[in-house]
């Protein structure tokens, strides 16, 4: 390993930073609940698996994915929340409604993250079909809620080293 490599902060899923003292908010959209509940469970279970304490994980529901941005801001502005994981599923419809929602949420969550200086994770599926969503919510393509939690944990580890 070169000296440059030694300075790299690389976390594998087996070697994640300690989050036992961290506090998380998971915001869950109520559209397509079969999918978003599975994503929530994936995210929640991962946080607990990697050391988060159940009392330190709060959940908030929003009507649809479009509302994730404002709710994320409310949580991210709280001094006692370290990271926010946003869960949603916007399935392509007959109109371009989904495009507007997806772009607004992606941009909105980026803004919240930068404004609050906290990890705000985009755990929103944007599939063409319900089956594609289920495939990514505990199906053949894994659980993207899981990955959202790992992303939050990795970002907290990086923040503690870099800020």
The residue number with the shortest CB distance to ligand DLZ is: 64
Contacts of 131 (CB under 8 A, 6+ apart): none
Residue 52 or 62: which CB sits closer to ligand DLZ? 62
67 is in an annotated binding site: yes
- 103 belongs to the catalytic site: no
91 is in an annotated binding site: yes
Burial 58-88 (b: 16+ CB within 10 A, else e): eebebeebbbbbebbbebbeeeebbbbbbbb
Nearest to 119 by CA among 64, 43, 13: 43
Nearest to 134 by CA among 91, 102, 94: 91
Residues that bind ligand DLZ (CB under 6 A): 29, 31-32, 63-67, 88-91, 93, 97-98, 101
Nearest distance, CB of residue 30 and ligand DLZ, angstroms:
8
23 is in an annotated binding site: no
Q: Cite the active site residues.
A: 97
Instruction: Mark the binding-site residues for 5-amino-6-(D-ribitylamino)uracil, compressed into ranges.
Output: 31, 65-67, 89-91, 122
């Amino acid at each position: 390993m070169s000296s440059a490599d030694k300075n790299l902060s690389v976390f594998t899923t087996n070697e994640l930073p300690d989050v036992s003292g961290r506090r998380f908010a998971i915001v869950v959209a109520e559209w397509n609940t079969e999918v978003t509940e599975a994503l929530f469970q994936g995210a929640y279970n991962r946080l607990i698996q990697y050391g988060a304490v159940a009392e330190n994980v709060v959940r908030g529901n929003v009507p649809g994915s479009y509302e994730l941005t404002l709710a994320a801001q409310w949580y991210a502005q709280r001094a006692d929340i370290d990271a926010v994981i946003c869960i949603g599923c916007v399935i392509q419809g007959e109109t371009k409604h989904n495009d507007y929602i997806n772009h607004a949420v992606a941009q909105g969550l980026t803004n919240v993250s930068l404004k609050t200086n906290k990890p705000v994770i985009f755990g929103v599926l944007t599939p063409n079909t319900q089956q594609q969503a289920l495939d990514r919510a505990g199906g053949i393509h894994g659980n993207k809620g899981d990955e959202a939690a790992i992303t939050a944990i990795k970002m907290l580890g990086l923040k503690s080293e870099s800020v």
